[in-house]
Amino acid sequence: MLVIRLIGPVMRAIDWIPLLVTGPLSLALIGVIDAGAPLDSGMALTLLRMLGLLLAAAAGFAVLDEMAPSTAATPAPRRLRHRIRYAAGGLTAAAFWAAACTIATARLAEGGTLRIPGLAVEAATCIAAGLLTTTIAARRHHGRSAALRGMGGLLAVFAVTLVLRGPYWPWLNPTEPTWEVVHYGWSATLVLVVIALDSMAREPHRTRHIHTADR
């Protein structure tokens, strides 16, 4: 199958450095904050949300395709190549976040709890959004410039959500009564972002025309 033959070359072409730096640093951070003492659940919540955003920004670098301008008409569709990149970057970021979550949970003070399913949906949405913003930027820019612009877009969205207020604020405390409702919203957002991500992975109209003409 084409996808199996593509996995190796695409994995080698991915810029892994941002993820392989951010991931271990995230684990170190969650381990050294208040080292020697139990971790407060509020601090753990803040750290996990922050690390989700950092890993999302790092995951965006997996989208970069330095050879995109010269491979527009290759037999391997852009959409397929990007799906492999999304899976590699997204799953790696998710694995680091899950490891950080495991450390945080193990360090919680007695009686402290974290609502892991909801936090996991938040992190997954952030990671998918990081991939999406970089994919959008990469349609007009190439190289790390696209990733940095995508990171800027991600941070802009995050900043907007921070200034929102009310019972349905995205970054609620787990004790809030609307937690479940808000996380239904997070889940719906994740689905929409993934759909948009797959749509943006398609070749631009001009490139699709080239593929059609070649066939």
List, for residues 82-119, the tens digit of each pLDDT value: 889 999 999 999 999 999 999 999 999 888 889 999 99
- Domain span at residue 84 reads 2-214
Residues in the chain: 215
Residue 131's alpha-carbon distances to 28, 31, 207, in angstroms, are 24, 27, 21
- What pLDDT sits at residue 43? 93
Residue in the structure block whose two tokens are 């139990």? 38
Whether residue 78 contacts residue 203, with contact meaning beta carbons closer than 8 Å, is answered with: yes
Q: Residue ranges of the alpha helices (H) in 108-204?
A: 116-138, 144-163, 179-200
pLDDT at 6 over 90: no
Residues contacting residue 4 through CB under 8 Å, at least 6 positions apart: none
Calpha distance 90→202 (Å, rounded): 18
- What pLDDT sits at residue 203? 65
pLDDT band for 197, please (50, 70, 90 cuts): very high
Q: Is the pTM of this model over 0.85?
A: yes
Burial status of residue 163 (CB atoms within 10 A of its CB: 0-12, 13-18, 19 or more): exposed
pLDDT band for 204, please (50, 70, 90 cuts): low
pLDDT band for 67, please (50, 70, 90 cuts): low
Q: Regarding predicted confidence, which is higher, 14 or 206?
A: 14
The number of distinct structural domains making up the chain is 1
Residue in the structure block whose two tokens are 């943006």? 200
pLDDT in tens, 7-29: 888 888 898 999 999 999 999 99
Residues contacting residue 157 through CB under 8 Å, at least 6 positions apart: 129, 133
Residue in the structure block whose two tokens are 């659940």? 41
